[in-house]
Structure 1
């Protein structure tokens, strides 16, 4: 899977990948205590490697949401 989803398929893409995005965000957050000060750089690298970019954006939003909870 590559590229950006079209405007018409954006909602479908979100529905299809939401659960996995939450799982990825939880996985990343689970490492925060272990990595401490190095966590932010590590997360940035993990997000950079995720594909497609809209999925990485979903994970980023989930990280933000879970961090504020």
Structure 2
């Protein structure tokens, strides 16, 4: 049985959030090298839908850290 988009999102939301937080935590450590590093980390995530979820969560973390 194939998962619906909503089902996939629901099943993987916590994992994507945790992964984004793990990646975002490296920003102060890597500083200027972080952007290239995090892009390469997200690129390796599979499936693509999961990578997109992590990318959106990273954007949310980035936005909230700037405000």
User: TM-score over 0.5 for the alignment?
Assistant: yes
How far is 1:67 from its partner? 1.2
Structure 1: which 4+ aligned runs deviate by more than 2 Å? none
- Higher RCO, 1 or 2 (CA under 8 Å, sep at least 6)? 1
Structure 2: any 5+ residue segments left out of the alignment?
none
Structure 1: any 5+ residue segments left out of the alignment?
1-5
The number of residues matched between the two structures is: 63
Is 1:50 aligned to residue 45 of structure 2?
A: yes
How far is 1:56 from its partner? 0.2
Q: Distance in 2 between matches of 1:67 and 1:19?
A: 18
Partner of residue 9, structure 1? 4
Partner of residue 15, structure 2? 20
- Alignment TM-score, normalising by the size of structure 2: 0.89
Partner of residue 61, structure 1? 56
Deviations 1:9-49 (CA, angstroms, capped at 9, x unpaired): 00000000000000000000000000000000000100110
- Alignment TM-score, normalising by the size of structure 1: 0.87
